[in-house]
Amino acid sequence: MNPGVIEEVGSTTRTFITSMKDHPAVLVLALCNLALIIFMYFALNAAAEFRTELIKQSFEYQKNAAELLARCVLQPGPRSDYKLQSEESTIVPSPPPRPEDAPRE
């Protein structure tokens, strides 16, 4: 009679445990690799969620900026309504020249 699946799994497990008792460094390395894979999964999952949220916020910001700019349309009118800043400002006179013997600060 051929051994069943359960017997084969049991035999393989016993062989694996026996070999790990003989070589504990291999067991530690295998556990470290498994822990690293689990850590990488959770770290990359968190990074993907962060990127998704960042993209959503970026689109929301662009939408708000576009709405603000859409409300800032100038109404057509005569060109005389708009003045340049230089037309409204006054000229500031230069300070008087200092005498040569005056102390410098």
Tell me the two tokens of residue 52: 């998704």
**CA-to-CA distance for 50 and 99, rounded, in angstroms?**
66
Asked if residue 37 is part of any domain, the answer here is: yes
**CA-to-CA distance for 92 and 94, rounded, in angstroms?**
7
The predicted structure's pLDDT at residue 41 = 97
Asked if residue 97 is part of any domain, the answer here is: no
Beta strands in the chain (DSSP E): none
- Please give the tally of structural domains in the chain: 1
Query: What are 55-101's pLDDT values in tens digits?
Result: 999 999 999 998 888 777 665 555 555 555 555 556 666 777 777 76
Q: Are 1 and 8 a contacting pair, CB within 8 Å?
A: no
Q: What is the mean pLDDT of residues 37-65?
A: 96
pLDDT at 19 over 90: no
The pTM is what? 0.47
Asked if residue 89 is part of any domain, the answer here is: no
Give the structural domain span for 38.
24-71
Q: How many CA atoms lie within 13 A of 33 on its CB side?
A: 6
Would you place residue 4 in the very low, low, confident or very high pLDDT band (cuts 50, 70, 90)? confident
Secondary structure class of 94 (helix, strand, coil)? coil
